Structure 1
Amino acid sequence: MKRQKRDQTERAYMKGYKAGIDGRSRSLCPHETGQTRQQWLNGWREARIDHWDGYNRTAQFQKLSNIHYSAASG
Structure 2
Amino acid sequence: MRRQKRDMNSRAFDKGYQAGLGGRSQEDCPHENDAHRQAWISGWREGRSDHWDGLTGVSGVHKLRAV
Identical-pair percentage? 46
Matches within 5 A, 1:22-61: 22-61=22-61
Aligned length: 65
Over 3 Å off, 4+ runs: none
**Corresponding residue number in structure 1 for 2:12:** 12
Kept after mapping to 2: 8 A contact 1:23/1:48: yes
* Backbone CA RMSD of aligned residues: 1.8
Rounded Cα–Cα distance in structure 2 between residues aligned with 1:35 and 1:59: 30
TM-score (norm 2): 0.80
- Rg comparison, structure with higher value: 1
TM-score (norm 1): 0.73
| Gap runs ≥5 in structure 1 | none
